Amino acid sequence: MEIGIIGAGASTVGLLDALARFAREPGALTILEPSPYLWRGRAFAPDLESVLVNTPPMIMSASHGDPGHYGRWLADQGGSYLDRRLGQPIVPRGVYGSYLEQTAESALAGLRRLGWRTDVVRERVAGVLPADRPTLVTHTGRRHLVDVAVLAVGCGVPQDHYGLGGSPGFVRDPYPLATTLADVAPERDVAVVGSGLTAVDIVASLAARGHTGRISLLSRAGVLPAVWQRPARVTMAHLTTDRLAALAREHGALTLDHLWSLLDVELGPDLAELAEEVRATNSEDPIGRLRRHLSLIDSPGMGRRLLQQAVHVVGPHAWRLLRQSDRDVLRGRYFRAIASLSSPMVPGNAATMLELLETGQLAVIPGLRKIEPGDGGFRVFTDGSVRSADVVINAVNPPPHSIPDGAQAVIASMLTAGTAELHPDGGLNIEPTTGRLMVSGHVDPRWYAVGDLAGGGSFITTSIPGLAARAEATAQAIVSPLMRPA
Ligand SMILES: Cc1cc2nc3c(=O)[nH]c(=O)nc-3n(C[C@H](O)[C@H](O)[C@H](O)COP(=O)(O)OP(=O)(O)OC[C@H]3O[C@@H](n4cnc5c(N)ncnc54)[C@H](O)[C@@H]3O)c2cc1C
């Protein structure tokens, strides 16, 4: 069997690792990726030392089913990256990229030992040809005929909400910060659009470079990510995928009330604290909230820890079973609370943020309306004021399941050929258990999608364990003899 994989980021690393574990017979593999950094994708390319991973080692294994895989690799590297408040190593993202590289190389070596031919083609896939076998056409016109093709193209880059593209001093995509911050003089007045984890990366990196000018985080609500608590063992005896599926079967769909009752059984008295945390997300002063979260790193309360795990582990299953009206409520009323609590910042970065907020160098400004270029800089309009900035750095995340610029052409060509179909909430329609593409309700065993292009998932960006789990399910479907294409 000949497999073609489009894109070589973390999802593909998870896929290769699983293929190497499952494959029993020789085959052939072609991976197509135009970027200079194989296996790292957008998130884990070399960058400043201040650009850190957002999660502790036990949930960064690219090898599904082996949660200690990354921790063991890290222990072998030496070097101390301890976040002492968290009690866990938090490495620069470029270091994690080296782990992905080595995981991919070792999986490829394993496949070759089994007799596989493996090729990496440094080209972008720009289209497909209508044919019985998937035919991938690269931007130089080369054709690759395969039996099975996997789309692993990742998510998009930040959107330019205020139409500032081309304005001097505007940075549309902040990564790599080593390049984009290189021209920002220390005394410049920097406005960052967004207040999530990307904004935190930017602030931490400006601070590490000795920035002295004002830094403003501009957003509509001014909500910062919560702060990681020390990891503690979270067991979910009731909030399980089986229980969710049973409830959905029994009642025709899952509801928020079902989820709340299951959280109640799991958490007992800690539920009230979690409810208060969710309620306060939009109203609490950001400095007060950050200070409070820093003081709660060692708190024994399980509410936030359980919610975080639930969102990433059972969240994708729950989302698919949830009644449409309840999905709308989550996406609308609770989006900021869930995003902030389920994707927290690491304590080291939180401490840097608090220090800068307390000295007044950093401000979190809600009520952003628009930004206009003007007077050699920018004018920023918020609900209550107009302010200026020399530099505007975009840190607005692309909507979940958006199609990255580099994959627009290939997806357009697949839509035209009838090989793929858009999901109404973004991404492509897939069969959730295997990642196979679905068109008009029919599953196509020749085409797969992994990572955030796979539509129908929740509004939270998938993290490494979620990507690795999906990649493993796809690898299993590809190599399973019963499921192979005829
Ligand atoms: C800045 C950032 C930081 C993150 N940090 C963490 C973290 O600390 N912990 C965590 O768990 N998760 C983190 N995530 C979330 C998630 O784990 C990553 O987004 C993950 O790397 C996604 O992997 P991927 O392979 O699906 O996509 P990507 O890593 O984006 O890889 C997709 C690849 O496809 C290639 N490609 C695109 N189009 C084509 C084409 N037409 N032809 C060929 N190749 C193509 C791209 O060049 C790219 O290399 C982070 C995400 C971001 C954006």
Which residue is associated with the tokens 């973390």? 10
Atom of ligand 1 minimally distant from the CA of 461: 15
User: Measuring from atom 35 of ligand 1, which residue has the nearest CA?
Assistant: 7
Q: Please name the residue whose Cα sits nearest to atom 51 of ligand 1.
A: 43
For residue 157 and ligand 1, the question of a CB distance below 6 A is answered with no
> Which tokens hold the place of 409?
């052409």
Indicate the pLDDT class of residue 486, thresholds 50, 70 and 90: very low
Asked if residue 448 has pLDDT above 50, the reply is yes
Ligand 1 contact, 41 CB (< 6 A)? yes
Interval between CA 176 and ligand 1 midpoint (Å): 13
Under 8 Å CB-to-CB from 105, ≥6 apart: which residues? Answer: 39
> Which of 5, 40, 54, 69 has the most ligand 1 atoms within 8 A of CB, as the residue to mutate?
54
Nearest alpha carbon to residue 147 among 135, 163, 162? 135
- CA 165-169-172 angle, to 5 degrees, is 40
Asked if pLDDT for residue 398 goes beyond 60, the answer is yes
* Ligand 1 close to Cβ of residue 404 (< 6 A): yes
Q: What percent of the chain has pLDDT over 90?
A: 89
Domains of the chain: 2-156+399-483 (3.50.50.60), 170-225+346-394 (3.50.50.60), 241-342 (no CATH)
Q: What is the pLDDT of residues 334-368, one digit of tens each?
A: 999 999 999 999 999 999 999 999 999 999 999 99
- For residue 485, is pLDDT > 70? no
DSSP codes of every residue in 73-101 = HHHHH----EETTTTEE--BHHHHHHHHH
For the stretch 117-165, pLDDT in tens is 999 999 999 999 978 899 999 999 999 999 999 999 998 888 899 999 9
Measured in whole angstroms, the distance separating CA 300 from the mean position of its chain's CA atoms is 28
When mean pLDDT is compared over 24-28, 116-120, 371-375, the highest value belongs to: 116-120
CA 273: distance to chain centroid?
A: 27
Mutate to test the pocket of ligand 1, among 5, 33, 474 (most ligand atoms within 8 A of CB): 33
Nearest Cα residue to atom 27 of ligand 1: 154
Distance from Cα 280 to the centre of ligand 1, integer Å:
32
Structure tokens, 172: 């549309």
The pair of structure tokens assigned to 32 is 């197509």
- The residue contributing the CA closest to ligand 1 atom 2 is 43
**Residues facing residue 374 across a β-bridge:** 377
How do 82-83 and 88-89 pair as beta strands? antiparallel
9 lines ligand 1 (CB under 6 A): yes
Give the position, in ligand 1's atom list, of the atom nearest the Cα of 126.
41
**From residue 228, how far is each of 115, 350, 405 by CA, in Å?**
44, 9, 32
Q: Is 192 left (phi over 0), alpha (psi -120 to 50) or beta?
A: beta
Does residue 406's CB lie within 6 angstroms of at least one atom of ligand 1?
yes
State the residue for tokens 């199609």: 403
Task: Provide the pairing of β-strand 117-121 with 28-32.
Answer: parallel
Q: Is the sign of the CA dihedral 267, 271, 273, 276 positive or negative?
A: positive
Determine the Cα–Cα distance for residues 229 and 358; give it in Å rounded to an integer.
22
Q: Which atom of ligand 1 is nearest to the CA of 38?
A: 49
**Which DSSP string do the residues of 266-290 spell out, in sequence order?**
HHTTHHHHHHHHHHHTTTS-HHHHH
* Probe residue for ligand 1, chosen from 60, 467, 472, 474 as the CB with the greatest number of ligand atoms within 8 Å: 467
Place of tokens 């690795």: 468
What digits encode the pLDDT tens for the residues 77-129?
Answer: 987 899 999 999 999 999 999 999 999 999 999 999 999 999 999 999 999 99
